[in-house]
Structure 1
Amino acid sequence: MIYFDNSATTAMAPEAIKTYTDVASRIMGNPSSLHNLGTVATRLLDASRRQISELLGVKAHEVFFTSGGTEGDNWVLKGVAFEKRPYGNHIIVSNVEHPAIKNAAEWLATQGFEIDYAPVDDKGFVRTDKLAALIREDTILVSVMAVNNEVGAIQPLGEIAALLEDKPTISFHVDAVQGLGKIAVEDFMLPRVDFVTLSAHKFHGPRGVGILVIKAGKRLTPLLHGGGQENNRRSTTENLPAIAATAKAMRLALTDDAMKRQKVAGMKQVIYDALKAYPKVVLFSEMENFAPNILTFGIRGVRGEVVVHAFENHEIYISTTSACASKKNATAGTLVAMNVPNKIATSAVRISLDHTNNMAEVEQFLTVFKQLYTEFDKIAR
């Protein structure tokens, strides 16, 4: 079995699984309890938060635990919108954001907020000049992802941060769910960025756990009200075993991360060069300024889901761009935003590699691809 769908989810690291099971079986206390069992749980919660904060280069009190990327994205958009409504009601997001951002923005539009979508160029990069032109006196938030989940474009966060440097009343949010381990932490944890969303299952941690960095002094209206956990900002009993496992997974992911990225980029380069030689292959991802792990391509005249299932028959697992849209047979939103014709966009499939993959798997993939390409070519004639 070859798993090339790591942008959808990653296998939990064995060390993270061990941490999860150890905590789940040995530490039964609720961190909110006053007795000794609660104190033990609180110490582990604090230690996990501290480790994550050190890895991200922020303060421990700036790290908040969520249920995943979707909650984090929703919390930022809705939390900023309602917190800052007295000062403005205009929000800018890019038109290639994850549905967690886009759908939250669309809902806010029904609540009276005005939403503008910053366009991208034909490669999927946000046009900073176009984004700048959208900024108004009443703009309260700009949200742009770090790495596009469909084609892997690394967005120009530095340029956007510079654009917002003299606009302190505008909050800047980065969805870095696809970023950790794929680009350097400092490339998305920029000083001007106010909020950062992460999700554990994208870096070999457990599902159902996310991290939201809220920089000191930045305010968000809570989504959840209740017992006052997470410093009265997110009420619900913390999932301590999963949080501890997330801290372990992040430490593992960021150990020798530059070397891991280089290894993944090398595998991507081999696949990229091989696919480029096929006349009916369209490459939507490139090497420069793209994530080292994501390669999206299509075979002209063959729908993406057909390609996915053809590879599945050989126990090779890839996807049609975003996992969140694949079962809905939806055309990749990023490709639409890139003005890719629908007939070509519907052919798109995504390979997403990981440092746990190897060159033997790449060679097997290319062998199977050659066979399938020949079969598809005969059918298309």
Structure 2
Amino acid sequence: MHPAPAAGAARKPALLVTEDGTTFHGRSFGADGETFGEAVFATAMTGYQETLTDPSYRGQVVVATAPHIGNTGWNDEDDESRQVWVSGFVVRDLSRMRSNWRSNRDLGEALADQGVVGISDVDTRALTRHLREHGSMRVGVSTVETDPEALRARVLEQPQMVGANLVADVTLAEPEVVPAQGTKAYTVAAIDLGIKSRTPYRMAERGCEVHVLPADTSIEQIRALAPDGVFFSNGPGDPAAADGPVALLQQVLADGTPFFGICFGNQLFGRALGFGTFKLKYGHRGINQPVMDLGTRKVEITAHNHGFAVAAPEGGTLDTPYGTARVSHVCLNDDVVEGIELHNADDALIGFSVQYHPEAAAGPHDASYLFDRFTQMMDARRTGQEGGR
């Protein structure tokens, strides 16, 4: 076990205020200062490092519902991107020591290094109940402001998440290639809307050479790669504001290239096909969400991080210029759409997406078969093309 830093006992008082004036007092950890964002709660009991480095949390202050956070410290292997993306982190009990053989620093130190403000000693159960009852809302966390009304006034000046286009904040600047493990079998063009590093790794395990591309990539640049499939990643913000990636995806579908999308990619797939999207009251965030595959009736325990969802059409099917789309997965907690499939005139699968995270970072592994489904779909297209020659 590693002892807590000597300064841990002298952490500053901190203040949290929501946009409706609800106030919590606690103690600071991480960086000093002030931060703002949309307050959302995440129900995972473990995997906080993967959560904090998930680009989908851009612009959000994450409330951990698990009461004890920080016990495994921080390591250099589990980051899911190049930095911590959350605007702030709210916990009840911050561990006084870290105990994990891979840990090389504690959670507070990692947040301080990246300028991220945290607050502990908060009644996170009460805060979570408040967000469930009233919905996700803007919040401020400060180690310098002691007046709740003054902090609330600044909270109310912050932009809403509805209408926020945050993709440009998180996408990479230049293309990167993740080589296939073993023999290369496929070329995949992966559009980075806020991709987690484990996702291309999961495809590489299956023989995919993954070209991770910026969100503003053109259809001509994708065609130049002659990919076997195209992937759209997770990401932050309102899908209704991401018109550029939607237009790109429609061109991909018009080319007949097999498509796979997750999370934000699922919402953009829905928009490209003609579905609507809407903001959930408080969203799904955690690694314990039950989802049913409507085709197999199998229930999976899945990892989620989304505040928006696809609006299902009546009957769950929709005729599109690219084929017939239908809802393939639903959340058993609230019937929210968790997956879409696109079939051609022969009822062959030519595109699919899920709202959850099959890369299992952090866990669970129930949905890893979806990466196999992607390779099977690419195989089917290749076989069909070769058979027609």
Same fold, judged at TM 0.5 (above): no
More helix by percentage = 1
* Structure showing the higher strand proportion among its residues: 2
Q: TM-score, normalised by structure 2?
A: 0.26
